[in-house]
Amino acid sequence: MIVRNEEQFLPQCLESIKDVVDEIIVVDTGSTDRTVEIAEGFGAKVHHHPWNNDFSEARNISLSYATCDWILIMDADEELEREDVPLLLSLLKSDEYNAIFLANINVLSDSQQSKHYNARVFRRGTMHYEGIVHNQPVIEGNTLSTEIRLHHYGYGLPEEAMARKHRRTGDLLKRQLEETPENTFAQMNFVRILRNQHRFDEAIGQGKEFLRQYSARMSPMHRQMISNDVAYCLFATDQYEKAEDMCRQVLEENPDNLDVLFTLGAVLSKRGEHREALRHFKKFLSAKREEDWRPAFTQLIVDTYTLEDRVWNNIGECYRNMGLLDQAIRAYLKAIRINPGHVNFYKNLAFSYIRQNRPERAEEIFKKAITLGIADEFVFFGLGEVYRSQGEPERAIAAYRKALAIKEDFADAHSALGQVLLAQGELQDAETELERTLKYSPTHIGALLSLSQIHGRTDRRKEALACMDRIVAIAPPDGNLRLHLAGLCIGIEAYPRAIEFFEEHLRSHPTDYSALTDLATCYLHLGKREAALTGYRAALQLNPRHEQALKNLKLLL
């Protein structure tokens, strides 16, 4: 091992191998925490060497101290799977190979894991490391690939720690590429670092340039990894067509590339091509089942190794967008069975039940998420919507307030709370919530409409019209919105403005006899009798039995 300030993970690492190995060699490169003390507590032979920004140098120094026939290389943030130890020890009896590949399971954030194979067990004297970062072993003789597991925790660190790690690795990779610009392994890792730092445009440009210059000499692994990272960054920057093209190029070379199948499915879903997205998500599941049943050695790092739950969720989203709610619900339920701790699956399932007009099932799902302790602001907001639809305003208000306790700037929750309070006649509290909505979302149409209504009910005609002007300035109103605004204008006796909205509406909906009747009534309020008569007669030509038009026409005649 080579270590530096590894007191967080080192105890569990050494605990996993303490009775497996005959000696523990640790090269410390300048620890200032309890790393050395912990290592010595496990009986390790600790050697001290300065850090020269070169991982291979430190690795090769550590190898020089080993005295046993076989060497196991580990990082301090790794743990050997105890269940696999008997197999590992049995493999050391063979003379047919000099190195053994282990399955490195990287534990990432959000319960995700990636997998790649790494040569970690060597016959002493048959290998050395090269490369100042992401060092690679150079092996003499035959190798053996296995499914013996090493669990790696170094990629699931807090955001700030990961940022420091990416900066350090990125600086070393830049130096390595300056010295050996044709090093395609370093190129691959550099593009990955840019992606992980969300420097998407740089990753796209650098990755494309590497592919342009060196694609012909790259291994399939390097070419596919760079291409997938470029495709991911194109997807992240809404360049869906280019992302699709990059994915399809990879799949021509490797139709079962799990990461690319996942990325392409996501791209197609964003483009609204849900049937085609489904095909690729289902291909992912088929390829993953085959890999689980008969694992095949690959040089690829598989980022989507444990993403079957997300794939089923994405399948559910495709079905929901296609209006196939029963299929969507079945997909979300499968996602939950695989991973019952992911709140998005519960939200998507519950909102599908709401679209099916099954609020009691939606309520049950939202409450399940709350019971599991995974509820976020959208769960409580959704629960509020259920209670609101069921005519339970007090429970809706309580749910919306819980959503706002989690996320104070949740504009939709403020708006929904304001609308329920308005319906309850609590105008002052409703206005407060609606003003808060506009603080966080100044273009929130629903809040502006409700605020117009409050101003109208409290004799603030000028303020009501100002809200309507803001709505019109945000976006040209559609038919329903124009009618709503016209109705608000009638409520505050702003008949000229109501006429404008009705006339705009009727230009695109000339057969709307109810709108014609209301328009005629506005003219009547303004004393324009002939215009009102014309309006009522036009409405009755469209619907001779329209009661309001008949009644008003009789009064005029």
Environment class of 83 (CB within 10 Å of its CB; exposed 0-12, middle 13-18, buried 19+): exposed
Side chain identity at 377, as an amino acid letter?
A: E
Amino acid at 28: D
pLDDT digits (tens, 9 = 90+) for 122-136: 999 999 999 888 888
pLDDT at 534: 94
Closest CA to 11 of 33, 147, 135, 101: 33
Q: How many CB atoms lie within 10 A of CB 47?
A: 14
Confidence tier at 336 by pLDDT (50, 70, 90): very high
| C-alpha span between 418 and 435 (Å, rounded) | 9
- Look at residue 289 in the predicted model and tell me its pLDDT: 96
The band of 381, judged by pLDDT with boundaries at 50, 70 and 90, is very high
Asked if pLDDT for residue 109 goes beyond 90, the answer is: no
pLDDT value for 94: 95
Q: Residue 139's beta-bridge partner residues?
A: 127
Determine the pLDDT at residue 165.
86
pLDDT of residue 152: 95
**Residue 476: alpha-carbon gap to chain centroid:** 32
Best CA proximity match to 338, nearest among 360, 316, 356 = 316
DSSP state of 215: G
Q: What φ, ψ does residue 154 adopt, rounded to 5°? A: -75, -10
Residues 335, 286: Cα–Cα separation, whole Å:
16
- pLDDT of 557 reads 80
Q: 158-172, 252-266, 311-325, 351-365: which range is least confident on average?
A: 158-172
**Alpha carbon distance 233, 110 (integer Å):** 20
Domains in the chain, CATH or no CATH each: 2-156 (3.90.550.10), 495-557 (1.25.40.10)
The alpha-helical segments, DSSP class H, found in 180-239 are 184-196, 200-214, 220-236
The pLDDT score that the predictor gives to residue 190 is 96
Confidence of residue 189 (pLDDT cuts 50, 70, 90): very high
Query: Is residue 111 pLDDT above 80, yes or no?
Result: no
pLDDT at 281: 98
276-285: long-range pairs with CB below 8 Å, 24+: 277/314, 277/318, 278/315, 278/318, 278/319, 281/311, 281/314, 281/315, 281/318, 282/315, 283/255, 284/258, 284/311, 285/311, 285/312
pLDDT digits (tens, 9 = 90+) for 499-516: 999 999 999 999 999 999
Residue 361 CB neighbours (<10 A): 16
Q: How far apart are CA 97 and CA 121, in angstroms?
A: 10
What pLDDT does 555 receive? Answer: 87
User: CA distances (Å), 523 to each of 40, 173, 315, 455, 526, in order?
Assistant: 94, 76, 54, 24, 5
Given this model, what pLDDT does residue 539 score? 94
Q: How confident is the model at residue 112 (pLDDT cuts 50, 70, 90)?
A: confident
Rounded Cα gap, residues 555 and 557, in angstroms? 6
- The percent of residues in the chain predicted with pLDDT above 70, rounded, is 100
Pairing of strands 2-3, 25-28: parallel
- Tell me what percent of the residues of the chain surpass a pLDDT of 90: 92
What's residue 433's pLDDT?
97
Please compute the mean of the pLDDT values over residues 410-418 and round it to a whole number.
97
pLDDT score, position 482: 92
Cα 35 to Cα 278: distance, rounded to the nearest angstrom: 49
Quickly count: other Cβ atoms within 10 Å of residue 120's Cβ.
Answer: 23
CA angle 232, 235, 236 (to 5 degrees): 85
Q: Please choose, from the candidates 61, 21, 71, the residue with its C-alpha nearest in 3D space to the C-alpha of residue 44.
A: 21
Q: Which residues pair with 302 in a beta bridge?
A: 115
> What integer pLDDT is reported at residue 123 of this predicted model?
97
Structure confidence at residue 384 as a pLDDT band (50, 70, 90): very high
Q: Is residue 479 pLDDT above 80, yes or no?
A: no
pLDDT in tens, 72-98: 999 999 999 999 999 999 999 999 999
The confidence score (pLDDT) of residue 159 equals 83
